[in-house]
Structure 1
Amino acid sequence: MKSNGRPLCATAFLAFWIASASRAQNLPPVNPQALTTQFTETITLQPPCLEIKQIRLWIPIPSDGPRQRIVQLSIHAPVPYRLTQEGRYHNRMAYLVFDHPNQQPISVEVSWVVTRYASPQLPSERTVPSLSALFLQPDRLVPVGGTYAALARQQTVSASTPYDKAKRIFAYVTQHFRYDYSDSSPEYGKGDVAFVCSYKKGNCSDIHSVLVSLLRSLGIPAYIAFGFPLTGIPAPIPLPTEGTIGGYHCWVWADVPHRGWMPMDAADAIRWNDHGYPQMANKLFGALFLPRTAVDMSRGRDIVLSPPQKAGPLNYFIYPYAEADGKALPVNWHLQFKVLLCSPSGSSS
Structure 2
Amino acid sequence: MKKLLMSFLSCSLLAATANAQESSSTAPATHTYEMTQTYDLAVPKGSKGETKLWIPLPFNNEYQQVKSIRYEGNYNRAYITENNTYGAKTLFADWDEKAQQRDLKLTLVIQTKDREPMRQKALENYTPPEKIIYSVDVVEYLKPTQHIKTDGIVKEYADKIVGQETNPLQKARLIHQWIVNNMERDNSVLGCGDGDVEKILTSGVLKGKCTDMNSVFVALARAAGIPAREVFGIRLGAAPKMSRYSKTAFGSADENRIAKISGAQHCRAEFYLAGFGWVPVDPADVAKMRLTEKKAVEDADVQAVSDYLFGNWEMNWVGFNHARDFELYPLPQLAPINNFGYPYAEIGGDPLNFFEPKEFKYDYSAKEL
Partner of 1:347 in structure 2?
Answer: none
Instruction: Please give the secondary structure, in 2, of the residue aligned with 1:134.
Output: helix
Q: Is the 8 A contact 1:272 1:281 kept in 2?
A: no
* SS at structure 1 position matched to 2:325: coil
Match of 1:250 in 2: 267
Matches within 5 A, 1:1-349: 33-48=29-44, 52-79=48-75, 80-102=77-99, 104-119=100-115, 131-180=137-186, 182-183=187-188, 185=189, 189-197=193-201, 198-229=204-235, 230-231=237-238, 234-236=245-247, 240=253, 241-245=257-261, 246-273=263-290, 275=293, 276=299, 277=301, 278-291=303-316, 294-330=317-353, 331-340=360-369
Comparing 76-85 with 201-210, greater Cα deviation is found at 76-85
- 8 Å contact from structure 2 (residues 115, 314) kept in 1: no
SS in 1 for 2:33: strand
Aligned pairs, how many? 301
Q: In structure 2, do the counterparts of structure 1 residues 191 and 82 end up closer, same or farther at CA, with 3 Å as the change threshold?
A: same
Separation of aligned partners in 2, 1:120 and 1:101:
50
Q: Distance in 1 between matches of 2:211 and 2:185?
A: 11
Q: Would the aligned equivalents of 1:35 and 1:115 in 2 still touch at CA under 8 Å?
A: yes
Distance 1:60 1:52 in 2: 24
**CA contact 2:37–2:365 (8 Å) conserved in 1:** yes
Q: Secondary structure at the match of 1:281?
A: helix
1:176-202 Cα distance to aligned partner (Å, 9 max, x none): 11111x31x589711121332221111
CA distance, structure 2, for counterparts of residue 44 and residue 163 of structure 1: 46
Q: CA offset at residue 320 of structure 1?
A: 1.6
Which amino acid counterpart does residue 142 of structure 2 have in structure 1? Answer: L
Q: 1:279 to 1:329 in 2, by over 3 A?
A: closer
**What is the aligned partner in structure 2 of residue 21 from structure 1?**
none
Name the SS for the 1:154 alignment partner.
helix
Q: Does the CA-based 8 Å contact 2:192-2:209 persist in structure 1?
A: yes
Question: Structure 2 CA distance, aligned partners of 1:89 and 1:64?
Answer: 14
1:82 shift after superposition: 1.0
Q: Give deviations 1:23-63, integer Å, cap 9, x for gaps.
A: xxxxxxxx962111110011121234798331111111212
Aligned to 2:19: none
Q: Tell me the alpha carbon deviations over residues 159-185 of structure 1, each in whole angstroms, 9 at most, x when there is no partner.
A: 2311111111111111111111x31x5
Distance 1:135-1:206 versus aligned 2 partners, 3 A rule:
same
User: Which range is displaced more, 167-176 or 295-304?
Assistant: 295-304
2:23 aligned partner: none
1:324 shift after superposition: 1.8
Contact 1:254 1:263 (8 Å CA) reproduced = yes
Name the CA shift for 1:186/1:261 in 2 (closer, same or farther; >3 Å): closer
Cα offset, 1:84, TM superposition: 0.7
CA distance in 2, matches of 1:205, 1:63: 19
The structure with higher relative contact order (CA 8 Å, sep 6+) is 1
Q: Distance in 2 between matches of 1:166 and 1:204?
A: 17
The 2-side partners of 1:60 and 1:174 are apart by 29
Shift of 1:147: 2.1
- Distance (whole Å) between structure 2 residues aligned to residue 243 and residue 32 of structure 1: 22
The Cα of 1:146 is off from its aligned counterpart by: 2.0
Q: Is the 8 A contact 1:270 1:281 kept in 2?
A: no
Moved more, 273-282 or 168-177: 273-282
TM-score scaled by length of structure 1: 0.78
SS in 2 for 1:290: coil
Shift of 1:339: 0.4
Question: Identity of counterpart residues, as a percentage?
Answer: 25
Cα RMSD, aligned residues only:
2.9
SS in 2 for 1:226: strand
Aligned partner of 1:28 in structure 2 is none
Gaps of 5+ in 1: 1-30, 341-349
- Matched residue type, 1:110: L
Query: Does the residue aligned with 2:338 lie in a helix, a strand or coil?
Result: coil
Cα distance, 1:239 vs. partner? 5.4
Please state how far the C-alpha of 1:311 moved relative to its aligned partner: 1.5
Contact 2:116/2:313, CA 8 A, preserved across alignment: no
TM-score when normalising by structure 2: 0.74
Q: Which whole-Å deviations, capped at 9, do the CAs of 1:277-320 have from their partners, x for residues lacking one?
A: 222221111111222xx211222211311111121111111222
Q: CA deviation at 1:269?
A: 2.3
